[in-house]
Amino acid sequence: MKIATIKDVARVAGVSPATVSRVVTNKGNTTEEIKKRVLEAMEELKYVPNINAQSLSSNRSRTICFSIARNPKEILGNSFFSDVLCGISDAAKLQDYNLQFALFHTIEEQMEKCVKLYRQKQVDGFIFTSIRSSDKDILLKGLKAKHIPFVMIGSSLSHSALSIHNDNVRDSYISTKYLVDKGYSRILFLTPNLKQDVIYDRIHGYQRAIEESGLNLSPEYILYCGDEEDEVTQALEQVEKQGLSFDSIITTESIMSLSALKYCQAKGKRVPEDVGILCFNNAPYLDKVSPSISCIDLNPILLGNEAFKLLLDLIEQPSSSFVNKSITLPSQIIERQST
């Protein structure tokens, strides 16, 4: 079967190929009547526009890249990042954009590959997240110097860049105050030991809430550990060996809350009567365990949606690409059986 061309559509619609092109690209002036005829002809002939040709003529790839430089084991399977990715993908599809996902081990590799992708016109811009504090200068200044459009998911107080983020100080403060208001007073704070602003901010929010509540908790109530079950278990066992009494646990990763729950159940600690558990970020499995686990929902799908919209504005309005703008999204506590 012959594949229909733009000339075939023009012949059936009774217009010029240039008019068909204007309808397909939604550029230039065409009447509603002509537009209808062209669309009907495209439908009749099963015509599919040549995206590559459009990209060449517009100097755009209609592809954006979501990029992270971090250990793949820390990313793959993490519900927060998968939800952000889904949010970006949903927004991109609505605008007929394609999405690449690029995962790198080092910031140097990320910088080199992303610059190459942009220069080869394989992508029109980037969305970055989970950037280590020490790496932000390298990545953000490097991209800005090369006039590459990007949006960062995460706070950027010391950098002039477009960013969208959760207020991690606020969210940690709210989570801790929520537990205090529920009657808990010896609150453990479990977090990965990552050198990222998000971790520093969450610790700060926890400490502020503890101080304002008049609770006298030692620094040992902040536990640094990996998110694997054995790492969480070892951290909690060490706490008990030190004679540190606790009646509640906040985990900064949702997956860590499952290990905390399993530990408490193995030790005969009732949840929520003896130990309350709350985690950052809602995840599908949190309401499928017993007891179900409370969380603070960070709206990662909305985060991805809004990040794409910001990036699209940058791509379409290059003159405003590097204005310092920061958008903070709302969050809310989802109360379940663990508190």
Query: DSSP of 152-205, one letter per residue?
Result: EES--TTS-SEEEEE-HHHHHHHHHHHHHHTT--SEEEEE----SHHHHHHHHH
pTM score, whole prediction:
0.79
* Model pLDDT, residue 237: 96
* Chunked mean pLDDT (size 10), the chain, 339 residues: 82 88 76 89 82 57 89 77 93 91 87 90 90 75 85 72 89 98 97 84 96 94 93 95 95 95 97 97 95 96 94 80 73 97
Measured between alpha carbons, how far apart are the two ends of the chain, in Å?
64
* Model pLDDT, residue 324: 64
Amino acid at 281: N
* Model pLDDT, residue 335: 98
* Model pLDDT, residue 139: 81
Question: In the structure encoding, which two tokens stand for residue 260, read together?
Answer: 């905390």
- Return all residues near 12 (Cβ < 8 A) that are at least 6 apart: 41, 44, 45
* Model pLDDT, residue 121: 87
* Model pLDDT, residue 58: 55
* Model pLDDT, residue 132: 72
Three-state SS at 250: strand
* Model pLDDT, residue 1: 56
In tens, the pLDDT along 242-292 reads 999 999 999 999 999 999 999 999 999 999 999 999 999 999 999 999 999
Complete domains list, the chain, with CATH = 6-49 (1.10.260.40), 63-166+301-329 (3.40.50.2300), 168-297 (3.40.50.2300)
User: Angle at CA 133, nearest 5°, toward 329 and 283?
Assistant: 45
**Comparing C-alpha atoms, which of 206, 191, 181 is closest to residue 276?**
181
User: Angle at CA 67, nearest 5°, toward 61 and 73?
Assistant: 145
Lateral strand order in the sheet of 63-69 = 98-104, 63-69, 125-129, 150-153, 162-166, 325-329
**Comparing C-alpha atoms, which of 231, 246, 236, 226 is closest to residue 266?**
236
User: Angle at CA 207, nearest 5°, toward 206 and 210?
Assistant: 85
Three-state SS at 223: strand
Lateral strand order in the sheet of 187-191 = 222-224, 187-191, 248-251, 276-280, 294-297, 332-334
CA 170 to chain centre: 18
